[in-house]
């Protein structure tokens, strides 16, 4: 057997790693592979960053290949390493940390950089691009403190960034120098419909505006335009385009134009060096969309494996906007010209617009708004380049272009070519899915997802994957029930019922008896099982600290730099000079960089070193505010009738009583309460999990509110007269939620799922409320402040101090 050649990939992104995936399948063991990635992450789906920003996905959800994948395929990964030198004579590369790697074949997949407008003030704090996880984290962090955001750029990326910032609660304006949005993908009619829809969602637009300068001192304060007008901003995101990252190639003597120049086999002008992805320029074009990059990767893999290939001939591109509640598709030549003709259909009532562009009786472009179901079929026809004469009306109105004239979704799928992309996020073709079904025995969506990655990201192609299952698997297709995670097919209710029925008392016991696929569990199921067992057996189950999330294990909020945020509990937001003095002295002693008032009327000590945490809590000698846990966070209050002339009840006393009643209460998700002293509602009780509003002679009790990413106003549960009744109903409601909600499910989602009538009926009888109240008190009796445990127990303290903050951030 020939000795394996050495292959080095510079860039751990989607295009380069996709080429490696193909190569491993085509020529297993042919190469000893080393990958350098500038980011400290495994390979992830960059086009899903907008979903992470909007709150629809976490980092773990967008990982394409996890750390184990590299180990399983014997790939040496240098994450967090930027290659700074290529020695083309010695055939080796060197990273900024001094790591060297020799190569027989070198692949450049360095991607692109966001184009940052060279405006005066562009170097100020709060001015960023939108290109990677770090940018996403900066936006999420900024939204916690600041409220006004400007996105420069009204294209695909700009609108996705703006939608994400809206979800984070920011006031967002999109600045665009063109008269209409997405002018590179849409015609004016579709753009106007898009603008109207996005404005209804809360987005603001400043069109035909040319940015001149960014003002502010250290941090951005706003944007100044060439017409003399200004717009305030605490955050400016530039989404005006990308530039191929060619600095390394250029300094190494590799031919560069706009991108790294490659031929049809992705070869550069230097023997043994290839380029693929956004950094590559092929026939004068540098592509920025995933489908062409995956096509390039497939060609490169065949070339490296010695498999015959016709080479890469370029791509016709299509785009789809990933914004909640908006369906937009565009492909090919979408604007009218002298040698084309267009057909249009528009329905203002249902918000649907369709346009097809024809040239020499061939379909050359399409724009769809509101109904994008035919996008894949139209794109397939565009790429085929066949005559559609006599079928124009069917194409426009949504009928299949197949000879059979069938109009069903299955008929459209059957007529698609095998090389048509079904899953745009992961570049999976119809033929790949068909092969997984016919030759690899995949008979469910989950099996296809595991085998091909189709539908593994945004899920927008799931219906098409199900359709292909019907076509190729027929009666053999099965609908696999999905459990709480990939380790089990059991859902929450089934797991809880089995734990109760068989009186299972440990996580290991649950996993063994209920046939967990992964006997060690995962980051999704272990915390949920830990909660369910503690909720069901409060006096018997011993909390498993290692199954809690990082913040709960550390009893502090870990920050992006590895330091911590400490929040002592301040009941009802009421403190004293002595307490304030103690906090100030501790903050001074431990050199805390920032002390901030939180939205929950407390003080947050930010930037605390790990080694200082136990001693700091000991000197504070205050209960934890549990700002890190899935438990009671805060009880916000206004001053009520103690000082306010509008107050009708003592909201401060009521809030403090509730906070002391439920502190340390574990729950499926975080819980926030508030008490307002009158219907003016200054404590914002009507967007809390449990809100209390004072009225003349009593209290209104509200449930299921959320002031976060998915804002929800509360439902009125009932009106009571006394403070004791408030506590009784609050106890009963919270325990009902604890016992019946799914892990990680906020009260807002739970109330919507089960319905207000169900909650009212469950709490209607006083004997039922008192029974729930007794169970919640039993659970609370078992809890102690975590820091008292750590301070008092030398072994616990030793274990805590051994924890590694870098690993915690990664987990």
Percentage of the chain modeled with pLDDT above 90: 52
Whether the CB-CB separation of 39 and 26 falls below 8 Å is answered with: no
Closest CA relative to residue 184, chosen from 112, 240, 122, 267: 240
SS3 372: coil
430-438 vs 462-473: helix crossing angle, rounded to 10: 40
**What are the b/e assignments for 470-484, b being 16+ CB within 10 Å?**
ebbbeeebeeeeebb
**What are the b/e assignments for 426-465, b being 16+ CB within 10 Å?**
bbbbbebbbbbbeeeebbbbbbbbebbbbbbbbeebbebb
Give residues with Cβ within 8 angstroms of 533, minimum separation 6. 499, 504, 505, 506, 507, 510, 541
Mean per-residue pLDDT of the chain: 87
Q: pTM for this structure? A: 0.58
> Is 442 marked as binding a ligand?
no
Token pair of 756 as six digits: 């207000």
- Per residue in 39-65, pLDDT (tens digit) is 999 999 888 888 788 776 777 778 888
- Could you write out the DSSP letters of every residue in 298-360? HHHHHHHHT-----------EEE--BTTB-EEEEE--S--TT-EEEEEEETTTTEEEEEEEET
> Is 644 marked as binding a ligand?
yes
Whether the CB-CB separation of 303 and 105 falls below 8 Å is answered with: no
User: How far does Cα 405 stand from its chain's mean position?
Assistant: 41
Token pair of 495 as six digits: 């797991």
- Per residue in 61-76, pLDDT (tens digit) is 788 888 999 999 999 9
The H-assigned helical ranges of 375-478 are: 375-384, 392-397, 409-415, 430-438, 445-452, 462-473
Please report the beta strands in 516-614, taking only residues with DSSP state E, as ranges in sequence order.
557-558, 564-566, 594-597, 603-608
> Is 279 marked as binding a ligand?
no
- Tokens 């593994």 belong to residue: 456
Q: Which helix (H) or strand (E) holds 93?
A: strand 92-95
The pLDDT of residue 286: 93
Give residues with Cβ within 8 angstroms of 789, minimum separation 6. 796
445-452 vs 462-473: helix crossing angle, rounded to 10: 110
Confidence band of 659 (pLDDT split at 50, 70, 90): very high
Please report the beta strands in 683-752, taking only residues with DSSP state E, as ranges in sequence order.
690-695, 698-703, 715-720
Confidence band of 775 (pLDDT split at 50, 70, 90): very high
Edge-to-edge strand list for the sheet holding 5-10: 76-79, 31-37, 5-10, 105-108, 273-275
- Tokens 């057996």 belong to residue: 537
The pLDDT of residue 550: 63
Q: Is 488 or 355 the better-scoring residue by pLDDT?
A: 355
Class of residue 100 by CB neighbours under 10 A (exposed 0-12, middle 13-18, buried 19+): exposed
What number is the average pLDDT over the span 473-492? 77
The pLDDT of residue 785: 73
Give residues with Cβ within 8 angstroms of 807, minimum separation 6. none
Instruction: List domains and CATH numbers for the chain.
Output: 5-112+244-305 (3.50.50.60), 127-240 (3.50.50.60), 492-548 (no CATH), 625-784 (3.30.413.10)
Q: CA-to-CA distance for 380 and 389, rounded, in angstroms?
A: 16
In this model, does residue 592 exceed pLDDT 70?
Answer: yes
- Per residue in 662-686, pLDDT (tens digit) is 998 999 999 999 999 999 999 999 9
- Could you write out the DSSP letters of every residue in 571-598? GGG---HHHHHHHHHHHHHTT-SEEEE-
What are phi and psi for residue 379, nearest 5 degrees? -65, -40
Whether the CB-CB separation of 673 and 661 falls below 8 Å is answered with: no
> Is 678 marked as binding a ligand?
yes
What are phi and psi for residue 312, nearest 5 degrees? -100, 125
Token pair of 795 as six digits: 């072994």
């Amino acid at each position: 057997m020939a000795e394996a050649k050495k292959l080095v990939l510079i860039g751990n992104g989607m295009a380069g790693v996709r080429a490696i995936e193909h190569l491993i399948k085509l020529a297993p063991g042919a190469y000893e592979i080393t990958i350098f990635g500038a980011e400290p992450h495994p390979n992830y789906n960059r086009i899903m960053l907008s979903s992470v920003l909007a709150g629809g996905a976490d980092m773990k959800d967008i990982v394409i290949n996890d750390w184990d994948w590299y180990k399983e395929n014997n790939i040496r990964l240098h994450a967090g390493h930027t290659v700074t030198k290529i020695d083309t004579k010695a055939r080796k590369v060197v990273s900024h940390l001094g790591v060297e790697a020799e190569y027989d074949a070198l692949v450049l997949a360095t991607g692109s950089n966001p184009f940052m407008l060279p405006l005066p003030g562009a170097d100020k704090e709060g001015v960023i691009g939108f290109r990677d996880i770090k940018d996403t984290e900066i936006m999420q962090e900024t939204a916690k403190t600041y409220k006004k955001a400007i996105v420069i750029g009204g294209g695909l990326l700009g609108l996705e960034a703006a939608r994400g910032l809206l979800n984070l609660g920011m006031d967002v304006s999109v600045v665009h120098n063109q008269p209409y949005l997405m002018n590179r993908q849409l015609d004016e009619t579709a753009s106007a419909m898009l603008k109207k829809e996005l404005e209804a969602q809360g987005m603001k637009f400043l069109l035909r505006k040319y940015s001149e300068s960014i003002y502010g001192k250290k941090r951005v304060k706003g944007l100044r335009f060439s017409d003399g007008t200004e717009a305030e901003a605490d955050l400016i995101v530039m989404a005006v385009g990308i530039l191929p990252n060619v600095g390394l190639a250029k300094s190494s003597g590799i031919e560069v134009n706009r991108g790294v120049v490659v031929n049809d086999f992705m070869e550069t002008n230097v023997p043994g060096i290839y380029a693929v992805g956004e950094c590559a320029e092929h026939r004068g074009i540098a592509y920025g969309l995933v489908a062409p990059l995956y096509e390039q990767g497939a060609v490169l893999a065949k070339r490296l494996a010695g498999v015959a290939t016709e080479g890469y001939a370029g791509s016709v591109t299509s785009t789809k906007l990933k914004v909640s509640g908006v369906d937009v598709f565009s492909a090919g030549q979408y604007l009218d010209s002298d040698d084309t003709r267009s057909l249009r259909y528009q329905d203002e009532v249902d918000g649907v617009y369709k346009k097809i562009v024809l040239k020499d009786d061939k379909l050359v472009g399409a724009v769809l708004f509101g109904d994008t179901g035919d996008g894949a079929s139209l794109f397939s026809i565009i790429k085929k380049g066949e005559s559609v004469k006599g079928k124009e009306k069917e194409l426009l109105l949504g009928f299949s272009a197949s000879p059979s004239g069938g109009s069903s979704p299955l008929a459209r799928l059957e007529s698609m070519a095998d090389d048509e992309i079904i899953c745009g996020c992961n570049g999976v073709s119809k033929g790949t899915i068909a092969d997984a079904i016919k030759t690899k025995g995949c008979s469910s969506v989950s099996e296809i997802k595991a085998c091909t990655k189709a539908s593994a990201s945004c899920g927008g192609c799931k219906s098409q994957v199900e359709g292909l299952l019907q076509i190729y698997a027929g009666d053999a297709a099965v609908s696999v029930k999905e459990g709480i995670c990939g380790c089990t097919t059991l859902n929450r209710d089934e797991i809880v019922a089995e734990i109760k029925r068989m009186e299972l008392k440990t996580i290991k016991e649950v996993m063994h008896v209920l046939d967990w696929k992964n006997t060690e569990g995962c980051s999704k199921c272990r915390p949920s099982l830990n909660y369910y067992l503690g909720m069901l057996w409060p006096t018997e189950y011993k909390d498993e600290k290692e199954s809690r999330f990082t913040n709960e294990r550390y009893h502090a909020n870990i920050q992006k730099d590895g330091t911590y945020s400490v929040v002592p509990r301040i009941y009802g937001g009421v403190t004293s000079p002595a307490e304030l003095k103690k906090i100030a002295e501790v903050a001074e002693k431990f050199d805390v960089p920032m002390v901030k008032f939180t939205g929950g009327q407390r003080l947050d000590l930010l930037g605390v070193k790990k080694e200082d945490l136990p001693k700091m809590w000991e000197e504070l000698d205050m209960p934890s505010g549990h700002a890190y846990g899935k438990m009671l966070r805060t009880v916000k209050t206004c001053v009520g009738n103690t000082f306010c002339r509008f107050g009708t009840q003592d909201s401060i006393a009521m809030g403090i009583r509730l906070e002391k009643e439920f502190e340390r209460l574990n729950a499926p998700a975080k819980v926030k309460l508030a008490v307002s002293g009158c219907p003016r509602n200054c404590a914002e009780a009507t967007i809390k999990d449990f809100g209390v509003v004072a009225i003349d002679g009593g209290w209104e009790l509200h449930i299921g509110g959320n002031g976060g990413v998915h804002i929800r106003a509360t439902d009125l549960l009932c009106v009571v007269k006394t403070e004791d009744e408030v506590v009784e109903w609050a106890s009963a409601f919270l325990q009902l939620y604890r016992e019946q909600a799914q892990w990680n499910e906020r009260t807002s989602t739970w109330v919507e799922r089960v319905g207000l009538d169900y909650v009212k009926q469950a709490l209607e009888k006083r004997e039922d409320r008192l029974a729930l109240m007794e169970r919640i008190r039993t659970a609370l009796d078992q809890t102690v402040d975590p820091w008292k445990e750590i301070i008092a127990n030398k072994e616990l303290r030793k274990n805590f101090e051994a924890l590694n903050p870098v690993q915690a951030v990664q987990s």
